Structure 1
Amino acid sequence: MTRLAKGSTIRRDAGLYGYERALARQGLHPVAGVDEAGRGACAGPLVAAAVVLDRQIPGLADSKLLTEKRREACFDLIMKRAVDVSVVVVPAADCDRMGLHQANIAALRRALWRLEIRPGYVLTDGFPVDGLGVPGLAVWKGDRVSASIAAASVVAKVTRDRLMVRMHEDFPAYDFATHKGYSTPVHQAALRDHGPCDQHRKTYVNVKAAMEQMA
């Protein structure tokens, strides 16, 4: 990953679109933002998304700061107004096989590569992703300060939540529709009572403990 081009310093009051405007002034456009959802869950897939914007999305913010209703509304607007969007879904078994961090990095790369438009610059949330083929920058809490990363966070989150709701139909004992695979008390109780299912990440400590208990 690279630094921002000289002259592209971002002011703290630049707003959610500050990075994208500064990069465009340097000719580094279009800008793609990439982010993932489900990294901290012990069940279900990891979902990565890449988004290229050329206009503002009303109500856009970090997906974690939005209510479910507002996330859904933002998702619909992004899908209608974004220049390009791509999504990658990594099953739980692949997260176990590859290791979570490597699966995360690979998913972010694949989401970028699946864009039909080649970006001139890439913004990632939190940590750098190498092998992108274009210059980029890792932005601390990027989903709160970059519009394209925030849009990617919304797309990834809504996509994953919908998958978890559908998964609930196949595995109702775990209540995936409510907690989306994260380690809540209700989920922990279901793991103790039923053991893990095929959608649990077997390398996670709490899932391993449930497996040992059921053995």
Structure 2
Amino acid sequence: MTLPRGTAVRRDAGLYGYERALARHGLSPVAGADEAGRGACAGPLVVAAVVLPEGRRGQVPGLADSKLLTAAARERVHAEVVARALAWSVVVVPAAEVDATGLHRANLQAMRRALWTLAVEPAYVLTDGFPVPGGPAPGLAVWKGDRVAACVAAASVVAKVTRDRMMRDLHERWPEYDFAGHKGYSTPVHQEALRRYGPCPEHRFSYVNVASAVRGGAAPAAGDDGSSAATAGTTYGPGPLRADHRESA
């Protein structure tokens, strides 16, 4: 899908250029959606959707693509986003569901759920990189959207902070994998832990490196109850201006 006829966003328009251009055509509010954990081989996929208000309140101090921020900066920006947003939501897709559904399909389903569960109905949707059909409003996939559209950058921060908190919790349960350090991505430390201990229930068994660890003879490590620590399809998000809400991750 393309922007409405006559809508133009200048390259130097800044992080809020898309929202301002759409608002001039009566398309406000605008929701942004993004995910965290797409490339990880362990832990959940986390998708967030955010609707920022127009004007000064919607200009979040320090907002940027979550990958460009330090962990401390992400926490500060996350607090500002959830305090200022008209609405936001988070959907958590456990590793087992990613395996069963397929990564891209699980991602699309989670993005649709995050957008549909926003307490404020958007007039337009911006997503990072690929289109999300079946959303609550017309939308556009923006290349590197988390770097050029404020609402997408805000969603990227909410998704990343939520997932990092969850991975730190998983580290307490399975410290041998150092989930708090690499957040489930395939670093050398993580690969060595897979080789030594085999995968745990929070690994994505459809991923080549995890499947190889199983074939190598390492038995999956079970949790206390033998089940996943994440909750399938969990959705978080407040109503309008619920600044006091905190995720349960």
TM-score, structure 2 normalization: 0.85
The aligned residue for residue 31 of structure 1 is 30
Aligned pair 1:152/2:155, yes or no?
yes
Deviation at 1:5, TM superposition (A): 1.1
**Amino acid across the alignment from 2:128:** D
Correspondence 1:187-198 to 2 at 5 A: 187-198=190-201
Aligned partners of 2:122 and 2:136 also within 8 Å? no
**Amino acid across the alignment from 2:136:** G
Deviation at 1:7, TM superposition (A): 2.0
How far apart are the structure 2 equivalents of 1:102 and 1:136?
18
Aligned partners of 2:33 and 2:128 also within 8 Å? yes
Structure having the larger proportion of residues in helix: 1
The aligned residue for residue 67 of structure 2 is 64
The aligned residue for residue 10 of structure 1 is 9
Query: CA offsets, 1:151-202, max 9 Å, x none?
Result: 0000000000000000001111100000000000000000000000000000
TM-score, structure 1 normalization: 0.98
Give the match's secondary structure for 1:167: helix
**Amino acid across the alignment from 2:195:** R
Aligned pair 1:200/2:203, yes or no?
yes
Aligned pair 1:179/2:178, yes or no?
no
The aligned residue for residue 104 of structure 1 is 107
Give the match's secondary structure for 2:8: coil
Uncovered stretches (5+) of structure 2, i.e. residues with no partner = 219-249
Deviation at 1:6, TM superposition (A): 1.8
Give the match's secondary structure for 2:47: strand
Uncovered stretches (5+) of structure 1, i.e. residues with no partner = none
How far apart are the structure 2 equivalents of 1:171 and 1:91?
16
**Amino acid across the alignment from 1:43:** A
Correspondence 1:58-137 to 2 at 5 A: 58-137=61-140
Moved >6 Å (runs of 4+): none
Give the match's secondary structure for 2:15: coil
How far apart are the structure 1 equivalents of 2:155 and 2:120?
15
Aligned pair 1:169/2:168, yes or no?
no
Provide the identity percentage: 68
Aligned partners of 2:145 and 2:152 also within 8 Å? yes
How far apart are the structure 2 equivalents of 1:164 and 1:198?
13
**Amino acid across the alignment from 2:146:** D
The two structures, once aligned, show a CA RMSD in angstroms of 0.7
How far apart are the structure 2 equivalents of 1:152 and 1:214?
40
Query: CA offsets, 1:65-119, max 9 Å, x none?
Result: 0011110000000011111110000000000000000000001000001101110
